[in-house]
Amino acid sequence: MIEDKNQQRTGLAALGEFGLIEHLTQNIEIKQPSTLTGIGDDAAILDFKDKKVVISTDLLIEGVHFDLGYMPLKHLGYKAVVVNLSDIAAMNATPTQITVSIAVSNRFPVEALDELYDGIKLAAKGYNVDIVGGDTTSSQKGMILSITAIGEADAEDLAYRNGAGDGDLLVVTGDVGAAYMGLQVLEREKQVFQVNPNNQPDLDGYSYLIERQLKPEARTDVKAILKGLEIAPTSMIDVSDGLSSEIMHLCRLSGVGCNLYEEKIPVDPQLINTCEEFNIDITTVAINGGEDYELLFTIKQDDYDKIKGNPNFTIIGHLTQQSEGTHLITRANTKIPLKSRGWNALSNDEA
């Protein structure tokens, strides 16, 4: 952790468990009409009336899912929330509440948790979700974060992973691969820093990639855009483990095959430049790099006219019968079977 040596350090024991929870959760505002009571009782109380409720949870472990060597605590807090809201967005639902559990070893002062919580609160505010509960405790080693996100939707809006049909169009929001390359840049800088701590990192030219890694956003805006276009997605998933892996999930659960077109895959110019610099194949990164938190979904062919040319979306392929398999059609018009090499697989390669 890059530390300001003059910073104030208040030991966690100084506040105690209840004091710490009170300290961290002070000034938390409740804004969602579905939140009746938040933190302070044995459980939070919510009221969704006739809406369906969606719920998703994630466990993030220091050294496995994040490295505080290049992940500032505020960014970590922000990202931990976003990752969970992305799962709610992937149901075509609207996130409404989160619970936040944190365990830290005594190497972390209260000020570090404040920073982490600042990021959590910033994300909660930006995405208009209420922090309604959680747990704060000590760990034997490092930092552990567990976030549960809750959302709501009308039944007819919900999008599942298993609804895609033969002939549907495959669509992705934004661009892919940048978060993974951002991680590569940060890892390189960390190694440079370890060799020469006085070396100032030169991160110009990588700003988009690094932001995608350190401060990803959940596409909670997509639901309203699709509604405005009068498009009901036939299936949906978020791109957390890599485009290829997610496509294979959708296809397996929907019982369909897929042709993904290499030339259609949306990538940022900065990704192209950096892949060239690192001598890595762009398409490999775009389809296997994870943590994009974009949405991957399918629509009926009839909806093509509604979506074509929309800057939020790129049609990257179409679904086929299951027997045809899942393939990448390269620029050279070669058909290569898609492989499920997700984010975890990539991480393992480096371990």
Of residues 143 and 185, the one with the C-beta less far from a second copy:
143
Per-position x/- string for 100-139, each x denoting binding to a second copy as judged by CB under 8 A, each - no binding: -xxx----------------------------xxxx-xxx
Of residues 145 and 176, the one with the C-beta less far from a second copy:
145
Q: What are phi and psi of 39, to 5 degrees?
A: -70, 145
Q: Which of these, 110, 146, 153, 190, lies nearest to 350 by C-alpha position?
A: 190
Q: In the block, which residue shows the tokens 């991957």?
A: 296
Sequential DSSP letters for 263-319: GG----HHHHHHHHHHT--HHHHHHH------EEEEE-GGGHHHHTT-TTEEEEEEE
Calpha distance 281→300 (Å, rounded): 32
Asked whether residue 347 is marked as a ligand-binding residue, the answer is no
Handedness of CA 177, 171, 168, 333 (dihedral sign): negative
Contact set for a second copy, span 58-77 (CB under 8 A): 58-59, 61-65
Query: Which of 160, 193, 208, 261 touches a second copy (CB under 8 A)?
Result: 160
Is residue 9 within 8 Å of 111, Cβ to Cβ?
Answer: yes
Of residues 138 and 330, the one with the C-beta less far from a second copy:
138
Per-position x/- string for 250-279, each x denoting binding to a second copy as judged by CB under 8 A, each - no binding: ---x--------------------------
Residue 298 CB, nearest distance to a second copy (Å)?
Answer: 14
Query: Which of 3, 42, 202, 302 touches a second copy (CB under 8 A)?
Result: 42
Handedness of CA 303, 308, 313, 315 (dihedral sign): positive
Is residue 126 within 8 Å of 83, Cβ to Cβ?
Answer: no
Other Cβ atoms closer than 10 A to 220: 21
C-alpha 286: how far from chain center: 15
Is residue 127 within 8 Å of 81, Cβ to Cβ?
Answer: yes
Asked whether residue 238 is marked as a ligand-binding residue, the answer is yes
Query: How many chain residues bind a second copy (CB under 8 A)?
Result: 64
Per-position x/- string for 332-351, each x denoting binding to a second copy as judged by CB under 8 A, each - no binding: ------------x-------
Calpha distance 213→68 (Å, rounded): 13
Of residues 41 and 202, the one with the C-beta less far from a second copy:
41
Asked whether residue 146 is marked as a ligand-binding residue, the answer is no
Residue 139 CB, nearest distance to a second copy (Å)?
Answer: 5
Residue 20 CB, nearest distance to a second copy (Å)?
Answer: 11
Query: Which of 9, 125, 141, 335 touches a second copy (CB under 8 A)?
Result: 141
The angle at the Cα of 341, spanning 192 to 67, to the nearest 5 degrees, equals: 35
Indicate the pairing of strand 143-153 with strand 94-104: antiparallel
The upper half-sphere exposure of residue 231, i.e. CA atoms within 13 Å in the direction of its Cβ, equals 28
Of residues 144 and 282, the one with the C-beta less far from a second copy:
144
Only one of the segments 3-11, 141-149, 185-193, 260-268 lies at the binding site for a second copy (rule: CB under 8 A); that segment is 141-149
Is 11 a binding residue for a second copy by CB under 8 A? The answer is no
Query: Rule CB under 8 A: which residues touch a second copy?
Result: 16-17, 36-37, 40-50, 52-59, 61-65, 87-88, 90-91, 93, 97, 99, 101-103, 132-135, 137-142, 144, 146, 148-151, 155, 158, 160-162, 236-238, 253, 344
| Residues annotated in a binding site | 42, 56-58, 65, 87, 117, 134-135, 161, 238, 240-241, 291, 343
| Residues annotated in a binding site for Mg(2+) | 42, 56-58, 87, 135, 238, 241
